[in-house]
Structure 1
Amino acid sequence: MTAGQHGDEETCDVVVIGAGMSGLMAATTLADKVDVVVVEAEDRPGGRVETVREGEYWINVGTQFTEGTGPLIDALDRHGITMGSLADTGVGLVLNGALVDASDVLALMFRTRMTLMDRFGMALVGARILCAVPFLESDGRLAKRVRAGLDRRPASDLLRGVRSELARAVVRSWSGQWMGCEPEETAATQLVTSIGIALTDPAKVPNFALPVGGNQTLTDVLAADLGDRLRLGATVRSVETSGDGVVVTYDGGGRRVRIRAKRAIVSVPTDVASRILPELPETYRGALADIRYGRYVIVGFFTEEEGPQPWDGLLGVSTPQLSFQAVFNHAAALRKEGPRMPGGALACFAGGASADALFALSDEEITDRFARDLLTVYPQLEGRLGRGIVRRHHRVVPFWAPRGRASLPTLRSPLGPIHLAGDYQLDMPSLADAATSGENAAKAVLSSLGR
Structure 2
Amino acid sequence: MSAVQRGGEEIHDVVVIGAGMSGLMAATALADKADVVVLEADDRPGGRVETVRKGEYWINVGTQFTEGTGPLIDALDRHGVEMGSLADTGVALVLNGALVDTSDVLALMLRTRMTFMDRVGMALVGARILSAVPFLESDGRLAKRVRSRLDRRPASDLLRGVRSELARAVVRSWSGQWMGCEPEETAATQLVVSIGIALTDPSKVPNFALPVGGNQTLTDILATDLGERLRLGAAVRSVERSGDGVVVDYVVAGRPARIRAERAIVSVPSDVASRILPDLPHAHREAFDDIRYGRYVIVGFFTEEEGPQPWDGLLGVSTPQLSFQAVFNHAAALRKNGPRKPGGALACFAGGASADALFELSDEEIVTRFSRDLLTVYPQLEGKLGEGIVRRHRRVVPFWAPRGRESLPTLRAPLGPIHLAGDYQLDMPSLADAATSGENAAKAVLSSMGR
1:323 Cα deviation from its structure 2 partner:
0.2
1:65 matched to 2:42? The reply is: no
> Is 1:107 the counterpart of 2:123 in the alignment?
no
**Bigger mean CA deviation after superposition, 196-205 or 50-59:** 196-205
Does residue 1:179 correspond to 2:179, yes or no?
yes
Q: How many pairs were matched up?
A: 451
DSSP-derived class of the 1:117 partner: helix
Which residue number in structure 1 is paired with residue 375 of structure 2?
375
Tell me whether 1:384 sits opposite 2:384 in the alignment. yes
The 1-side partners of 2:244 and 2:409 are apart by 24
Aligned to 2:444: 444
Alignment partners' CA distance in 1, 2:6 and 2:370: 53
TM-score under structure 2 normalisation?
0.99
Report the Cα offset of residue 2 of structure 1. 3.8
Tell me, yes or no, if structure 1 residue 151 matches structure 2 residue 151.
yes
Residues 2, 36 of structure 1: 8 Å contact kept? no
Partner of 1:403: 403
What secondary structure does 1:87 align onto?
coil
Stretches of structure 2 that go unaligned for 5 or more consecutive residues are none
Identity of aligned residues (%): 88
Matched, 1:161 2:147: no
Q: Which residue of 2 aligns with 1:128?
A: 128
**Structure 1: which amino acid aligns with 2:382?**
E
1:37-84 per-position Cα deviation (integer Å, ceiling 9, x unaligned):
000000000000000000010000000000000000000000000000
Q: Retained in 2: the 8 A contact 1:294–1:396?
A: yes
3-state DSSP of counterpart to 2:425: coil
Cross-structure match for 2:17 = 17
Equivalence for 2:235: 235
- Indicate whether 1:331 and 2:341 are aligned: no
CA distance in 2, matches of 1:3, 1:394: 36
Give deviations 1:226-276, integer Å, cap 9, x for gaps: 000000000000000000100001000231111000000000000000000
Structure 1 unaligned regions, length at least 5 = none
Greater shift in the superposed pair: 251-260 or 353-362: 251-260
What do residues 405-437 of structure 1 show as CA deviations (whole Å, max 9, x unaligned)? 101000000000000000100000000000000
Which deviates more, 197-206 or 405-414? 197-206
2:66 aligned with 1:34: no
| Preserved contact between residue 2 and residue 10 of structure 1 (Cα < 8 Å) | no
Equivalent AA in structure 2 for residue 169 of structure 1? A
The whole-number CA distance in structure 1 between the counterparts of 2:341 and 2:449 is 52
Q: Partner of 1:207 in structure 2?
A: 207
Change (3 A) 1:200 1:257: same
8 Å Cα contact 1:91/1:316 also seen in 2: yes
The C-alpha deviation readout for 1:281-307, integer Å capped at 9, x for no partner, is 000000000000000000000000000
1:361 corresponds to: 361
5 Å matches for 1:235-254?
Answer: 235-254=235-254
Between the aligned partners of 1:382 and 1:218, the Cα distance in structure 2 is 34
Q: Distance in 2 between matches of 1:185 and 1:384?
A: 38
Distance of 1:339 and 1:140 partners within structure 2:
47
The residue number in structure 1 matching 2:47 is 47
Question: Given residue 134 of structure 2, which amino acid in structure 1 is its aligned partner?
Answer: P
RMSD (Å) for aligned C-alpha atoms: 0.7
Q: TM-score, normalised by structure 1?
A: 0.99
Q: CA offset at residue 200 of structure 1?
A: 1.6
The residue type paired with residue 450 of structure 2 is G
Which SS does the other structure have where 2:309 is aligned? Answer: coil
